[in-house]
Structure 1
Amino acid sequence: MSQQAQWDSSVAFIFAMIGAAVGLGNIWRFSYVLYSNGGGSFFIPYFIAIAIMGIPFLILEYGVGFSFKESFSKIMQKIKPKFEIIAWILVLFVFIVVIYYMVILSWDLVYLLSSFTFSWGTDAAAYFTQTVGGSSNLSNAGFLLLPTTVCVLLLWIVLWFISHKNVDEGIGKVSKILIPALFVIMGIIVIYALTLPGASIGIDTLLTPKWEMLLNINIWLAAFAQIIFSLSMGQAIALTYASYLPENSKLIDNVLIVVASNSAFEIFTAFGVFSILGYMSATAGTPMVQLITEGTGLIFVVFPMIFNIMGPIGRVLAPMLFLAILFAGITSALGFFEPMLSSTSAKLGWSRKKTATVLSVIGCVFSLILTTGISSYLVGIIDSFVNQFGILLLIGIQCIIFAWFYGVEHFIPALNQYSTFKVGKTWKFIIKYLLPIVLIIMWAIGIVKLFSSAESFEIMVDLIIIIAVMAFAFILTKIKPSGE
């Protein structure tokens, strides 16, 4: 059974792919990674990582999806029946990403609604822990953070509403609206931020190169990790989206457009983030070092503090920022949801609507469990484990399967047929030898880091995830496909 779904044009596909790539990591992670890994000198490992990992692996994913035109689980089964379980392990890990990603998005939605009245008050940190994200105090696990719980329900309804439609009607249409809107909103925020007094302090802090740091392996690992997470590499998203492409698609050109858009967005955004931090430093006299943080601390604690002192313009910028994060997050969540949706639908022979409904209900229930008083603590544990342990390992395994068991040369004719840029021996060498080695080294270092500092509660959560993923992957593999 070949999938009937198809994009109506390359434009819908490109916007959906940019939407899947441009997410929360671009807005709140990249600027911190750039600053803490050598400032301006970080661009050297960053662009090398794009050239030897980001672009080659995405080209591979597009080639695989486009050539097979099947769901990820069916592709793996066709290469070798025993590999089907690997596909299910990966799509289940990516489904877990949707589950906690929707919780982070619900924090953002709470802040978007709060930004009209600044109801976070003067103590932004207390507002986050008490009302929105909770803390690491396990005794708080017994109650729900109601604003977050309600927003999780709303967002799952939105995700279901878009996903249950055909890809072009749902994801395609929404991406064509949200991605240009996201770029416009971030454009306005960043250009305004660059005019703020003190902006130059922030930009100098961000870009001052520390050349000696290039000799530190951790800087290079950080660059490769940023590219993997930023481009949503190896999570079967690109592969699934590419399987819906029409015949005469310029695959390699599309990869280059998506990668360039993603990098331009995160670099541009980093200038805005640090300009605003520089403004805070100049206005409130707070040293930059105290303001710089990543992730939720930056967006939900530092930024509300800054909006508080900005006066009337803060009232405009705050809703714009939280709206931009919401748009970036929804299009990414759709991408994370699609591999599980496509694989389950193909395996069980269910309609897209039925599969989306069942998976949305399951996903929503688990997301609600993550809205207790230890919400942000749990999300942090699951996020680092799923990415460092699960997805990184599975990207390496995919590289080996597609390159060695199937043969990467099989994809070259389809990739080159309509593309302006072509791939050949260098690309083959990268996929077969270079990438598996880099990924396995990164995985080993990540695992050592992950478990050397883990507390017993974190290890317990990690074990539950492994057992659940393995059990469900085994069951889904054993189920006889529809029509057999």
Structure 2
Amino acid sequence: MAPEDLDVTNAKVQIENEVENVDNNVEVTTAPIDEKNAKEIENEKSNEWGSNLSFLLAMIGSAVGLGNIWRFPYVLYKSGGGAFYIPYIVALLIFGVPFLILEYAVGYNFKSSFAKGLFKINPKFEFLGWIVPLCTSGIMVYYSAVIGWIAIYVVLSFFNGWTENPGQFFGETLLKSTEEPSGLFKFVPVILLTMIACWILIWFISHQNLEKGLGKVSKVLVPLLFIIMIVIVIYCLTLDGASIGLSKLFQPDWSKLKDYTIWTAAFGQIVFSMSLGVSLGFTYAGYSGRSTDLISNAVTIAVTNSLFENFCALGVFSVLGYMAKAKNLTIDQLEEDGLVTAGPGLVFVAYPAVINVLGKVGRFLGPAFFITVFLAGLTSILSMVEPISFCIQNKFNVTRKQSATGVILIGAILSLLFSSKYGSTLLDYVDTYINNVLALFCTVLECIVFAWVFDVKRTIKTLNARSKSIKVGTWWIAIIRIILPICIAFFWVLSLRDVIKARNTAKIVVFIITTIIVVIISGIFTILKPTNKRWKEAENRL
């Protein structure tokens, strides 16, 4: 064979190999396939969904969490009842769905971690690429404390172990809560041990390959979560007096539509419940296959999340209506007694108080409710491990098992602060900062970087080609380039103003310290040189 014929044959073989690699979702590289490169490629394969169903259920699991159960019912009740659905639907349509599609489009394009994606858009943005996943990690750290509390209540629910005074039991007996910073160094043993047990469970699921761990668990836990909640709500709707609670919940107060706070509450609920702006959508889309219908998935997840939190509201207020009738009180009077509330107060105080009144029925409803809340929290916290873990894998060429183990170990150590007597107070401060200040700030920056610098218009053709029904176009570009950044920035300014007006010195100190920690860690990760040869490579898939 002539030399030129041999060259042609080799070229054909090389092209065929490259095509095969693309079909298998492997980035093509001209680097030699030595042991180190083989490790890098194998690590990428461990971060792929086995099917679109795995991706869809995992995203639903990350969205459906405590925000749906303990935040939305109260927000709906306090924000004009039925009137709240006008700003809520507006926020869902111009924020929730468009922003989720944006995160999916850019994440899918790069098939990489958030930090690597922003580095490829512009190396100057790598710093932001670490801040956003660290924001998610911050939520994961304090979220673990709440998961620990819920795990304790799962056990207590079988015998109403919170006594006849759930409020006193939760704050004084269980948490031993104090607002004195000195309580930071006094740990509550039962909470500490429960949190450690929860971290072990999280590690067991997260350190495995994506499909074998999170994918398989999501296929079990998410449907189970929905089934249990459906059973609970249907039963609650049959309770005597349920209509009292539902009438109060949905009674529209149209005058509140003139108040900007109802609009900020709607946008805040969408951010909180759909986990927007914290790189989860970007990361999960990077794990997805080439045939994934990103637009339909985004709409499905948004609708499912909304239906779930509205369904939760039906159950919560049906039970409150039953309690109101049993005690011959109004819903407003229950609110005065602290039984109509949001956050931990609803789950750990109001609901146990209601279960006490239900008698034998409470023996079924209590365990079912707290198991549901635990599953919702678990599916959410599992998703929070992914963004920072994937970033570390991408830049430093460590395996999924190593990065997940490291992230979880550090997270577990930091979370010990929330097992102290000052833990619940600290949790409230950190939660306010991350969700109302840091996450919103990151969301605005994401809109600017993705929509303007990256020029997300080039993703439209492929997005629409793979969408079975819904298409994006000029309206989507206008929303994410102009409307969305303005709305979120407005909400962010209002949140920051509320923090300043509160004049809570301890809270402001926590804000400053948290900001310094996030900036320093992001700076260190940015400055460190990558050990992964593929760090500067990215596959443009759209």
| 2:184 and 2:417 in contact (8 A); partners too | no
Summarize the Cα distance change of 1:454–1:363 in structure 2 as closer, same or farther, 3 Å threshold.
Answer: farther
Structure 1 counterpart of 2:492: 443
| Pairwise CA distance, 1:259 | 0.8
Structure 2 counterpart of 1:272: 315
* The one of 61, 70, 86 aligned to 1:44: 86
| Pairwise CA distance, 1:152 | 0.6
TM-score by length of 1: 0.98
Q: How does 1:403-418 map to 2 (within 5 A)?
A: 403-418=451-466
Letter in structure 2 aligned against 1:430: I
| Pairwise CA distance, 1:150 | 1.1
| 1:7 and 1:244 in contact (8 A); partners too | yes
Task: Give the unaligned 5+ runs of structure 2.
Answer: 1-39, 534-542
Structure 2 counterpart of 1:308: 356
In the TM superposition, what whole-angstrom CA distance separates every residue of 1:15-51 from its partner, at most 9, and x where no partner exists? Answer: 0000000000000100000000000010111011111
Q: How does 1:320-339 map to 2 (within 5 A)?
A: 320-339=368-387
SS of aligned partner of 1:472? helix
Percent same amino acid at aligned positions? 41
2:243 counterpart of 1:200: yes
Task: Give the unaligned 5+ runs of structure 1.
Answer: none
Structure 2 counterpart of 1:468: 517
* The one of 132, 136, 140 aligned to 2:174: 132
* The one of 233, 245, 267 aligned to 2:288: 245
* The one of 369, 373, 383 aligned to 2:421: 373
Letter in structure 1 aligned against 2:439: I
Structure 1 counterpart of 2:502: 453
CA–CA distance in 2 between the matches of 1:319 and 1:12?
Answer: 28
CA–CA distance in 2 between the matches of 1:246 and 1:193?
Answer: 41
| Pairwise CA distance, 1:483 | 3.4
| Pairwise CA distance, 1:377 | 1.1
Letter in structure 2 aligned against 1:330: L
Summarize the Cα distance change of 1:107–1:454 in structure 2 as closer, same or farther, 3 Å threshold.
Answer: farther
* The one of 480, 504, 528 aligned to 1:431: 480
Structure 2 counterpart of 1:166: 209
Structure 2 counterpart of 1:483: 532
CA–CA distance in 2 between the matches of 1:82 and 1:70?
Answer: 17
CA–CA distance in 1 between the matches of 2:187 and 2:328?
Answer: 37
CA–CA distance in 2 between the matches of 1:475 and 1:450?
Answer: 29
CA RMSD of the aligned region, Å? 1.2
Structure 2 counterpart of 1:104: 146
Letter in structure 2 aligned against 1:367: S
CA–CA distance in 1 between the matches of 2:379 and 2:176?
Answer: 26
Deviates more, 1:386-395 or 1:137-146: 137-146
Structure 2 counterpart of 1:25: 67
* The one of 99, 111, 116 aligned to 1:74: 116
| Pairwise CA distance, 1:130 | 2.3
Structure 2 counterpart of 1:398: 446
CA–CA distance in 2 between the matches of 1:92 and 1:142?
Answer: 25
TM-score by length of 2: 0.88
SS of aligned partner of 1:245? coil
| 1:115 and 1:319 in contact (8 A); partners too | yes
CA–CA distance in 2 between the matches of 1:132 and 1:252?
Answer: 45
Letter in structure 2 aligned against 1:149: L
Structure 1 counterpart of 2:190: 147
Letter in structure 2 aligned against 1:64: V
| Pairwise CA distance, 1:129 | 1.1
CA–CA distance in 1 between the matches of 2:183 and 2:525?
Answer: 35
In the TM superposition, what whole-angstrom CA distance separates every residue of 1:342-388 from its partner, at most 9, and x where no partner exists? Answer: 11111111101011111111100111111111221111100000111
SS of aligned partner of 2:401? helix
| Pairwise CA distance, 1:399 | 0.2
| 1:46 and 1:224 in contact (8 A); partners too | yes
Letter in structure 1 aligned against 2:92: I
Which protein has the larger Cα radius of gyration, Structure 1 or Structure 2? 2
Letter in structure 2 aligned against 1:119: G
CA–CA distance in 2 between the matches of 1:330 and 1:180?
Answer: 13
| Pairwise CA distance, 1:134 | 3.8
| 2:394 and 2:532 in contact (8 A); partners too | no
* The one of 104, 107, 111 aligned to 1:65: 107
